[in-house]
Amino acid sequence: MPFLSRLYETIVGARNSLYETGVFKSHWLGAKTVSIGNITVGGTGKTPLVAFVAEVLAETGEKVCILTRGYGRENPRKQVLVSDGEKIIADVKAAGDEPFELAGKLLGKAIVVANANRAAAGNWAREKFAVTAFVLDDAFQHRRVKRDLDIVCIDATNPFGNGETLPTGTLREPLKNLKRADAIVITRANLVEDVSDLQTRIAKYNRVCPIFVSENRISRLINLKDFAANFSGLPGTSNHEQMTTGSYLAFCALGNPNNFFEQLRGENYNLVHAETFPDHHFYAPKDIAQLVAKARQANAEALLTTAKDAVKLKDLNVDLPCFVAESEMIFRRANDFRQWLLNAQK
């Protein structure tokens, strides 16, 4: 193992030990708390699961609040109320792209607060909104907050990178720490041939927690103009099965962009070009102009992007048809995860 990764593991191990022995305190938020996180850096398809869990909790009558750090926002030290559950309060630069996207998806279902200090944010939200259930976004390593359930997402297309921890690998902590998970969700299983070997490998580190298998599917295409107006319960949406005959330039700024492109190809979209930007990138007019120029050069009829990207395009002029591909998470055994989540809270 490279020296820097060994040093990193030592520091992570010492920190975890301090929490487990009670030297570092974890704070209870005064309400049921579900954490959703990763053991690797980069995108694992976690955001759809955050939304799914929030929706299930809301359906049972809980007053739900999502607590998120909000990577990429303009002032990461500031607490931002992204949504009060009924309307979006902050703009995307103040909120961050993922919190803003979640706020739009969950209007009428969940409050969204961005703050790196999720303990302070949770206490504030509980007092202000009488929250009864919290969903912690990207919090497997955020041990300052006690949780009732710890759910870890693992990307089927690249589960553990080269198996090394940071900085020479993509693991945030050693795989043995999967023993803390109450459940594991394998994501993007539709982009690989088989996940049975991955399930077996995960079970070596945690033999008692359930392992759920999920896929990401495109549920609909939305014209960017409609999306910008209001991306919750949109009118004028398009059936994506009728849109696969066109030719597209696809673009995104995701932690794992190739998964988006492969998902599109797997669902028979004709991509004549794919363009990537750094994760959480905020688009400027010059970016859009370059995308349009490349699309025309490649004879693309339209642009195609994700909801996470589309929230950052609202005030930009896109001189070519542009569609937003909305994805949904589908569990291979549809009711298993929902039932586990509801039963595990009792």
How far apart are the C-alpha atoms of 14 and 239, rounded to whole Å?
51
Complete domains list, the chain, with CATH: 3-215+331-344 (3.40.50.300), 218-327 (3.40.50)
Specify the DSSP class assigned to residue 34: E
Residue 149 or 333, more confident = 149
**Could you tell me which residues are beta bridge partners of residue 35?**
136, 150
Contact partners, residue 238, CB within 8 Å, separation at least 6: 220, 221, 222, 223, 323
pLDDT digits (tens, 9 = 90+) for 228-255: 776 544 444 455 555 666 899 999 999 8
pLDDT digits (tens, 9 = 90+) for 90-129: 999 999 999 999 999 999 999 999 999 999 999 999 999 9
How far apart are the C-alpha atoms of 140 and 57, rounded to whole Å?
19
Contact partners, residue 184, CB within 8 Å, separation at least 6: 151, 152, 153, 154, 178, 202, 206, 209, 210, 211, 212
Asked if 217 contacts 190 with a C-beta cutoff of 8 angstroms, the reply is yes
Contact partners, residue 93, CB within 8 Å, separation at least 6: 73, 74, 282
pLDDT digits (tens, 9 = 90+) for 261-281: 999 999 999 999 999 999 999
For residue 41, what is the enclosing H or E element?
none
End-to-end CA distance of the chain: 43
